[in-house]
């Protein structure tokens, strides 16, 4: 597209009768991605113009026809984009449910165009139950009008770009956990990867945001766990990562657990590297060769750390090291799985967990406390066979008191023939396990962390129905098609599925029950590092059939 000459803004249709172009055609593609508050601009549609090579014409205006279930007050700006550049914008201040916006411009063009897009900007605070539809697009050109078909456009959900790249001077935020306290406060936790976008080792703190109004607005980023310059090493050699949050539903106490690495173990020699400084470039990771070893010392093995809050997440204790309680000395690693833990009906506190045996093979299990967080223990691997490589996991307690552990499996990446999350059940806090009938062949994944949640839905007659929800990138190859599923039979079948973000993201997630009618999810989406979205249960399943 050639240089923009002029543009003006007109907020009414006023098109009159314009003949159809006999030469030009156009297509509009609307991906199923959320419209994010706190993001400058959301690309909701790509526009292509088909024209003969060498054919000269000009684009005089673009008309955008919008509708929203809760009104268009959330939409504050409509734009036409060329590549990453906004070439025409209109402010939209209205509470109407439908609106046609005409953006007038003068752009000389030659031949086909493939880099146009429609963008939306929102208010900082949006209705998380709102849904926006692109009803139509009309291109007014010097050759006549072109009206691409938008009839199949998906309904776009509103959500919040809670963490974006470089926000607050942080390179990247990843690995979310989500919890709601007895007071109704919602907490999102995550890795704040301050200097670069990669896993441990690095300058990584566990940070969080709080919401006291049901997820509508959020606090600034705060720090929950930071090992500082422990042991005389710079912060980039004292990283903490992969957090998990657990709320004691009986006391209101909140725990955040994470993996701490002190220094670096050389992947070639297996020895801890002495004399590291801020200028050192040595790097290794607890899941890579020689990243962590048997033993308890900080120079041998990555550590399992906890912080605790007794004031609804306003302040946190100093980090506490429970590695010796949960990791067999011969194992290379025992830490939590990222996401969220649960409180059992008898008050036992349970974190999903993962680790590496003495032969470095990966496993999943549980870490639990039966004394209100004073001491912690771990279960045995959910799969005894070291050839079964599971790791990141989350769990729910079923109606009979047993615990279902849903696990990431390394065999699934790119596997179209037999793909499915690993699932096992324990009745004795992980001392023994039974393989679930769905294990390895039902819940599709590209090998990625995922989240599971039990929600007790209260029906109109006062009775309750147990619902299980599962969220992950629903694809065997890539972290795309982020979707929520629902099971009515404790995970035996998952007939209901709702895609909320088809785009590429890092894919990790965590869920909460916001209230009886809504599920909250934080996930690594296509439009931001961390996206908070609220999903009405009736959008996933037919409540009349419960």
Catalytic residues: 392
- Rounded Cα distance, 441 and 443, in Å: 6
Six token digits for residue 107: 């752009």
- Rounded Cα distance, 4 and 89, in Å: 13
- Rounded Cα distance, 26 and 48, in Å: 5
- State yes or no: cis peptide before 391, omega within 30 of 0: no
The answer to whether the beta carbons of residues 265 and 275 sit under 8 Å apart is no
- Rounded Cα distance, 314 and 356, in Å: 34
Question: How far is residue 168 from each of residues 171, 207, 210, measured CA to CA in Å?
Answer: 9, 12, 16
The answer to whether the beta carbons of residues 453 and 180 sit under 8 Å apart is no
- Rounded Cα distance, 114 and 187, in Å: 42
> Strand pairing partners for 378?
367
User: Residue 41: what are its φ and ψ, rounded to 5°?
Assistant: -150, 135
Q: In sequence order, what DSSP letters do the residues of 355-389 get, joined into one string?
A: EE-TT--EEEEEEEESSTTSS-EE---SS--TTS-
User: Residue 103: what are its φ and ψ, rounded to 5°?
Assistant: -110, 110
Beta-strand runs (E) in 357-494: 362-369, 377-378, 390-397, 403-409, 422-426, 434-435, 451-458, 464-473, 482-487
Q: What is the DSSP letter of 537?
A: H
Burial label for 19, CB within 10 Å (0-12, 13-18, 19+), is exposed
User: Look-up: residue for tokens 């916006």?
Assistant: 101
Q: Terminus-to-terminus CA distance in the chain, angstroms?
A: 54
List all residues 6 or more positions away from 460 whose beta carbon is below 8 Å from its beta carbon: none
Q: What DSSP element (H or E) covers 159? A: strand 156-163
Sequence length of the chain is 546
- Rounded Cα distance, 164 and 496, in Å: 31
Question: How far is residue 85 from each of residues 4, 82, 354, 431, measured CA to CA in Å?
Answer: 11, 5, 45, 58
Q: What is the DSSP letter of 540?
A: H
List all residues 6 or more positions away from 1 whose beta carbon is below 8 Å from its beta carbon: 82, 107, 109, 113, 115, 116
Does residue 326 sit in helix, strand or coil?
helix
């Amino acid at each position: 597209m050639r240089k923009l000459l002029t543009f003006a803004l007109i907020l009414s249709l006023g098109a009159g009768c314009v003949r159809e172009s006999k030469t030009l055609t156009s297509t509009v593609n609307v991906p199923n991605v959320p419209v994010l508050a706190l993001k400058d601009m959301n690309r909701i549609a790509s526009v292509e113009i088909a024209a003969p090579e060498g054919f000269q014409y000009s684009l005089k205006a673009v008309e955008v026809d919008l509708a929203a279930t809760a009104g268009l007050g959330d939409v504050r700006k409509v734009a036409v984009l060329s590549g990453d550049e906004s070439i025409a914008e209109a402010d939209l201040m209205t509470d109407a449910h439908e609106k046609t916006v005409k953006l007038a411009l003068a752009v000389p063009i030659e031949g086909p165009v493939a880099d146009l897009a429609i963008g939306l900007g929102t208010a900082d605070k949006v209705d998380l139950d709102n849904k926006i539809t692109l009803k139509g697009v009309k291109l007014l050109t010097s050759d006549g009008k072109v009206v691409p078909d938008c009839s199949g456009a998906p309904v776009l959900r509103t959500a919040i770009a809670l963490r974006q790249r470089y926000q607050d001077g942080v390179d990247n935020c990843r690995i979310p956990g989500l919890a709601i306290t007895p007071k109704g406060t919602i907490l999102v936790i995550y890795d704040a990867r301050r200097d670069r976008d990669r896993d441990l080792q690095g300058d990584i703190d566990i940070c969080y945001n709080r919401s006291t109004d049901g997820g509508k607005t959020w606090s600034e980023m705060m720090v929950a766990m930071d090992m500082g310059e422990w042991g005389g090493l710079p912060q980039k050699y004292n990283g903490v990562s992969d957090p998990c949050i657990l709320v004691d539903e009986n006391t209101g106490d909140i725990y955040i657990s994470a993996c701490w690495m002190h220094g670096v173990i050389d992947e070639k020699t297996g020895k801890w590297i002495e004399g590291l400084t801020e200028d050192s470039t040595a790097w290794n990771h607890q899941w890579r060769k020689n990243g962590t070893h048997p033993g308890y010392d900080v120079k041998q093995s990555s550590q399992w750390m906890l912080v605790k809050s007794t004031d609804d997440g306003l302040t946190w204790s100093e980090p506490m090291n429970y590695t010796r309680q949960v990791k067999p000395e011969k194992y290379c690693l025992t830490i939590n799985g990222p996401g969220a833990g649960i409180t059992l009906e008898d008050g036992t506190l349970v974190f999903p967990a993962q680790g590496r045996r003495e032969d470095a093979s990966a496993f999943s299990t549980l870490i639990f406390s039966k004394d209100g967080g004073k001491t912690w223990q771990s279960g045995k691997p959910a799969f005894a066979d070291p050839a079964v490589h599971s790791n990141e996991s989350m769990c729910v307690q079923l109606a009979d008191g047993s615990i279902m552990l849903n696990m990431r499996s390394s065999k699934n990446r790119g596997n179209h023939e037999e793909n499915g999350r690993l699932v096992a059940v324990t009745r004795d806090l992980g001392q023994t396990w039974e393989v679930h009938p769905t294990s390895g062949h039902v819940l599709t994944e590209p090998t990625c962390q995922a989240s599971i949640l039990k929600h007790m839905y209260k029906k109109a007659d006062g009775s309750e129905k147990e619902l299980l929800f599962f969220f992950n990138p629903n694809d065997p190859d890539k972290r795309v098609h982020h979707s929520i599923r629902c099971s009515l039979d404790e995970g035996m079948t998952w007939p209901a599925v709702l895609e909320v973000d088809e785009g590429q993201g890092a894919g990790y997630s965590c869920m909460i029950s916001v209230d009886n009618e809504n599920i909250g999810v934080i996930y690594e989406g296509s439009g931001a590092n961390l996206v908070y979205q609220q999903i009405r249960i009736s959008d996933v399943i037919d409540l009349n059939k419960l």
